[in-house]
A and B are shown apart, each in its own frame.
Chain A
Amino acid sequence: MSANKGEHRFGMVIDLDKCTGCGACSVACMSENNIGTLLDETDKIRSITWLRVYQIDNGKAFPDTQIAFIPRPCQHCEGSHGHHTPCVSVCPATATDYDETTGIVSQIPTRCIGCRYCVGACPYHARYFNWFDVPWPKGAERGLSPFVSPRMRGVVEKCTFCYHRYQRAKNKAFLEGGSVGEKDYQTACTEACPSGAITFGDLNNPKHKVHELAKNPLAFRLLERLGTNTKVYYVSQRDWVQRKLDNYLAGEKLPVKAAS
């Protein structure tokens, strides 16, 4: 299945039963990656949230209602037949690319010509177009990180698995000798989560926690049937949560019957 030529395949396992929907991951992501706020954030077509937390419920009446939260970063699709990441395959400007050494789908805003084909191609709504310049409040530039360039209007942006952190970790490993360990490269959302619901690491490396976690029979991916072969895995014991996250037909059995 894997098109990866390199040794790494960075991915994420999110335990939906631990997620309490507090939004810390999303805010940490915005702060890490210099994402601004629009004056009207109810306009979800223009709002930019690389990691968005969705809320779902089981559709039952009170008091049997249950809710769950789905944190959704870019899924970093690999494509099932060799090499077919939906957004990468449509980009005419090579502004987005599949890095075969890490499995990360990159995004280079300065190359982007703003055609938005990738936005249309992404089945996860993980790509965002800057319809306007970000209205930074006066003085806000002092709080911006120099490690990620702020974007301008007319370009697309998305989650990069905090690639700048990987670059930093690689530099550090090079200078100090040795290699990039599991703790050296973690995304901002993973660090921030107060429930420890997000685990990040190299899916190919048996020493990394995600390697085992992704093999959990309860682990699944979003819209798996599309053959996007993503690198973000979700885990939930709850039957209804699993059912809501893929296109199951009515009465169709889940691949794994959730315990209890």
Chain B
Amino acid sequence: MNWDRRAFVKFAVGAVVGLHASPLIPKLMDDSAIWTQNWSWVPNPEDGGLAFANTVNPATGTGVRVRLIKGRMMGERIIRVEGNPEHPLSQGGVVPADASAVQLLYNDEVRVAAPLVRDKKTGMYREITWQQALDMVGGKLAELAKAGKAHTVVALGDEADSIHGQILSRFMAAYGSPNLAFAPRADDTLALAAWALTGQTDVGFDLMNASYVVSFGTPLLEGFGAPVAVRKAFVEWKKSKGALVQVEPRVSVTASQAGTFLACKPGTEALVALGMAAVMAEQGLADESATSAYGYAEFKAALAKDYNPKKVAELSGVPADKIVAVAKAFAKSPKAVAVCGPGPGGDPGRLADFMAVMALNGLKGNLGKPGGVAARKPLGLKALGEPANVDKPRLDGGKKGMKPANALALAQAALAGQPYKAGMVLVAGGNPAYAGPQAGVMSEFLSSAPFVVAITPLLDETAALADLVLPGTTFLEGWTDCRSSYGSPVSSYGLARPLVKPYAQAKTVGDALLALAAKLGGAVAGALPFASVEEALKAQTAPLGDLAELAKKSYFVQDKPAYGPFAFKTPSGKLEFHSQNLAALTGKNSDGAALPHWEKPAALAHGDGHALAMAAVPSLRSATGFQPLTPHMLKVLDGNTLRHKDELVVEINPKTAAEMHLAEDSMIVVTSAVGSVDARVHLYAGAAPGMVFMPTGLGHGAVSDAYTLGKGGNFYRVAEAAADSLSGLPTWGLTRVTVTKRG
């Protein structure tokens, strides 16, 4: 064939027609669409068999269900944490901290993979083996014990009654140090308040069955107790037309949802409770059970003298007629309850305030009744046993007994070397360098201590100050448990088991301590005769049945509150308005010190020349206390908090701001007696005048996670913690601050 012009044209036309008839073009276009979007840096999650497992998130008390995918290449992995619809309290709901828990499990940038030794000069970490790490800690502990300095070891834990907390308590006691403190919780304050008035320590509020609820600053919808369970109950409760009265200085979510909002001055919530109590006592509205209680006459006289509505109105800013109206409605409602604590920002609250609210419940006579204050039935667990007594002075001067140890006082005493300096610090859970109490003091304490060991799943602020970091686990990869949530009227027990293999070389706090105990031998090993946390849990949960069965179900919940005659365990055997228990605890019995009373918050009393009062903004979107902030939680913070790149935004009332010549977005510095932080102003009409409201959970410094690093400022660096005059626990509900312009 000749290759002439005609042949060429025929070939070209044929080629074009052929190409169009073939699937090549659509195929190439289709492929190019896929290729251009199929880059190696876009993750391609592996498919596999889907399975579900129940567990519980101890940080929130939510019963959750986990979705697991088992693939051929990546093995078993958790892709979702969602609600467990079978859980009687949380009924399938979750909060952001639950739904984003996977982000803390799978993040190589922040997880501690292996034991790390930190070089003090350079701050660089060096990986060692568990064996070397245990030798190192065991060696130091043995050395201190040999030198008679066992009591100088300070341990900081997170939850006292969790299995890990119990192991830590036994470990420290057997080793011979009294210096053990857990993260301060409102549960301790409530237990003390209930104990002072009734002798019982394990109580809750039966909100679900109450028709009239008065909440004294309680963030009912923003983190009270087990947040999901509370809100499930709240919706049901609202359907039955229950009335809610909220007393607090800020228009919070709870205040917005309440039928009546009593805006009070900062720190005067409990004063309003006493004002209501005075109205009830004076008008003969108190229950019979209250009028026959121990010290009623004395209490009534004190109420009439110091807490009459007129006086309370003056101090609290709540009009007297409103106090009288709410008090009457509260007294006349068939099922009414007054609720207290926890304070914003994880503040454990003041004992006097909690006692005032409990006394109001006492006057109402709702103890042990449906819709009142319930004594929780014991769970029937076999606890590991009381730790041995340590015959050495505690750093904060406290003794073993009702008063829990104050972590801040321990740190301050150790820093001052009065009565002695810390020989070693063991941080077993929590993040005191970030969340305090009083982050500045805790950081200073950790940096100055001769040897600091931190067991933590994340490279957090505490890990950054530790000499030895041991890899801890999250609740998805190790055994852990939790007890009844704050304020819940029913007892509950949650059990979390390892659902996936622990990350790298991570161990639970309890397992790390057990390994250390075995290393030390002697009394310490004798006090902890368990090979693993699982075995310790087996011993503890034996009365509830088989551990494996219980773990599969993941919870044990008492079906309804224990109603019936309230068993008073006070010295008089009755309700005590004049608390003999409290008098014995504080050593003060006169001048009404043992009566429910109101004290001006220490933060407001001294002032320090600072003009405004600062409090935390309670929110389920942000992390409270030492709980880490996940990237997804950061993302859903409200638009005002996320207004400025890397900057903290605080709420100030527009009028207050105008008086200070501040406007929306003004750049300011918030300074307290203990620290300062840069911020921007958001004018929020719902903020009480004269106050600054600051979000928590921001301002992380050490975490190498690029999402949370350097975002905003840390509330716990500015908040001043003061020991409560009665309970001795640190409280940081209010702090005096000065706001100055910058830039």
- A: which residues have CB within 8 A of B? 17-18, 20-24, 26-28, 30-32, 34, 36-37, 39-44, 47, 49, 53-55, 57, 59-63, 65-68, 109-111, 133, 135-146, 150-152, 155, 188, 191-196
Contacts and interface: CB of A to CB of B under 8 A. Distances in A.
Contacts of B81: 31
Interface string B206-238: 000000000000000110000110011011001
Given A133-B41, A146-B69, A194-B227, A24 B94 contact: yes
B620 A57 contact: no
Contacts of A145: 45, 67, 69, 79-80
Nearest to B654: A61
Contacts of B228: 194
B365 interface: no
B93 A140 contact: no
Nearest to B108: A139
A194 to B, nearest CB: 3
B263 interface: yes
B94 A28 contact: yes
B106 A142 contact: yes
Contacts of B48: 146
Contacts of B34: 110
A21 B253 contact: yes
A20 B234 CA distance: 11
A55 B251 CA distance: 13
Contact of B222 (A20, A24, A37): A20
Interface stretch (B196-204, B451-459, B485-493, B640-648): B640-648
Most buried by B among A21, A30, A140, A194: A194
Contacts of A143: 77-79, 102-103, 105-106
A136 B43 contact: yes
A194 B106 contact: no
Interface residues of B, number: 86
Nearest to A21: B253
A239 B605 CA distance: 42
A49 B636 contact: yes
B289 interface: no
Contact of B261 (A34, A54, A63, A138): A63
Nearest to B251: A65
A135 B263 CA distance: 44
Contacts of B234: 195
A39 B110 CA distance: 15
Contacts of B633: 23, 27
B637 to A, nearest CB: 8
B639 interface: yes
B253 A62 contact: no
Interface in B60-78: 67, 69, 71, 74, 77-78
Given A28-B82, A57-B685, A196 B620 contact: no
B631 A37 contact: yes
Given A137-B108, A196-B232, A62 B685 contact: yes
B107 A137 contact: yes
Nearest to A196: B235
A20 B221 contact: yes
Contacts of A61: 654-655, 685
Given A49-B635, A59-B685, A23 B45 contact: no
Contacts of B98: 24
Given A27-B100, A54-B639, A196-B93, 19 more contacts: A23-B637, A24-B95, A24-B96, A24-B99, A30-B100, A31-B102, A40-B645, A42-B645, A57-B686, A67-B256, A137-B107, A137-B706, A138-B107, A140-B107, A146-B48, A151-B42, A188-B82, A191-B92, A192-B82
Contacts of A196: 93, 232, 235
B621 interface: yes
Contacts of B646: 40, 42
B263 A41 contact: no
A67 B635 contact: no
B256 A66 contact: yes
B283 interface: no
Interface in B368-425: none
B232 to A, nearest CB: 6
Contacts of A53: 636, 638
A198 B263 CA distance: 31
A43 B71 CA distance: 36
B46 interface: yes
A30 B43 CA distance: 15
A257 B222 CA distance: 30
B106 A22 contact: no
B336 to A, nearest CB: 22
B43 A37 contact: no
A70 B304 CA distance: 46
B46 to A, nearest CB: 6
Contact of A144 (B45, B108, B687): B45
Contacts of B621: 21-23
A194 B93 contact: yes
Contacts of B686: 57, 62-63, 65-67
A44 to B, nearest CB: 7
12 contacts: A20-B221, A22-B621, A24-B96, A26-B635, A27-B636, A34-B45, A62-B251, A65-B686, A140-B107, A145-B79, A146-B48, A191-B82
A62 B688 contact: yes
Closest 7 CB pairs of A and B: A194-B93, A63-B263, A139-B108, A23-B636, A37-B631, A65-B686, A22-B620
B33 interface: yes
B632 interface: yes
A88 to B, nearest CB: 19
A60 B108 CA distance: 47
B687 A62 contact: yes
B686 to A, nearest CB: 4
Given A22-B227, A39-B707, A143-B106, A68 B99 contact: no
Contact of B706 (A28, A39, A49): A39
Given A42-B642, A137-B108, A139-B107, A193 B74 contact: no
A41 B80 contact: no
Contact of A44 (B71, B78, B82, B642): B642
B3 interface: no
B122 interface: no
B265 to A, nearest CB: 11
Most buried by A among B103, B105, B636: B636
A41 B709 CA distance: 12
A142 to B, nearest CB: 4
Nearest to B254: A20
Contacts of A42: 642-646
A28 B619 CA distance: 17
Interface in B7-47: 33-34, 37, 39, 41-47
A192 B235 contact: no
Contacts of A20: 221-222, 231, 253, 257, 620
B601 interface: no
B24 to A, nearest CB: 20
A110 B33 contact: yes
A32 B80 contact: yes
Contacts of A194: 83, 90, 93-95, 227-228, 231-232
A191 B636 contact: no
Contacts of A133: 39, 41-42
Interface string B661-689: 00000000000000000000000111111
A7 B191 CA distance: 57
Given A60-B685, A195-B235, A55 B638 contact: yes
Contacts of B110: 137
A171 B314 CA distance: 67
B188 interface: no
A59 to B, nearest CB: 7
B705 interface: yes
Contacts of A138: 107-109
A138 B704 CA distance: 12
A146 B45 contact: yes
A94 to B, nearest CB: 12
